[in-house]
Amino acid sequence: MRSVSVVLRVAREQLDARGGLGHYPVYATITIACLLISFAVAGFLPESLRDSLPKLQIGLGLVSTALVGGVVVTGRDRRNSLVQEEAIRLATQEALEKIIATPGFQPKPSTSPKT
């Protein structure tokens, strides 16, 4: 049973090590959406807020540009990580199937409550 735990732990560690690159597209989308909303509501704002709006739009534009640059730069790395993650999942599945298929395999009884 320990070998199953080890395989699952190593697979989880390897998958976690490849994460994190997927945040750039989300943040870029959010900042672009905020920028577009700021342009859409510009005509409906009171004069006092309308004066500071260009500063906000310039800031959002710069942040959006930086994040889109991050998306472009990390895009290839993210695609490679996704391919590696799929290979890790397949290797984990094969290893677990081999472990379970061994004649002496004794699964640990479930300790979760039955529903």
pTM, two decimal places: 0.57
User: Is position 28 within any domain?
Assistant: yes
Residue 115 belongs to some domain of the structure: no
Residue 62 lies in a domain: yes
In a domain, 111, yes or no: no
Q: Which residue has the higher pLDDT, 102 or 67?
A: 67
For residue 81, name the pLDDT band (cuts at 50, 70, 90): confident
In this structure, is residue 25 part of a structural domain?
Answer: yes
For the chain, how many structural domains are there in total?
1
Helix, strand, coil tally for the chain in percent (to 5): 80, 0, 20
Residue 59, pLDDT above cutoff 90: yes
Residue 110 domain flag: no
Q: What is the pLDDT of residue 110?
A: 65
The range of the structural domain enclosing residue 61 comes to 2-101
- CB neighbour list of residue 60: distance below 8 Å, 6 or more residues apart: 31, 34, 35, 38
Q: What is the pLDDT of residues 66-77, one digit of tens each?
A: 999 988 888 888
Full DSSP string of 54-105: HHHHHHHHHHHHHHHHHHHHHHHHHHHHHHHHHHHHHHHHHHHHHHHHSTT-
Q: What is residue 20's predicted lDDT score, i.e. its pLDDT?
A: 60
Is pLDDT at 106 greater than 80 in this prediction?
no
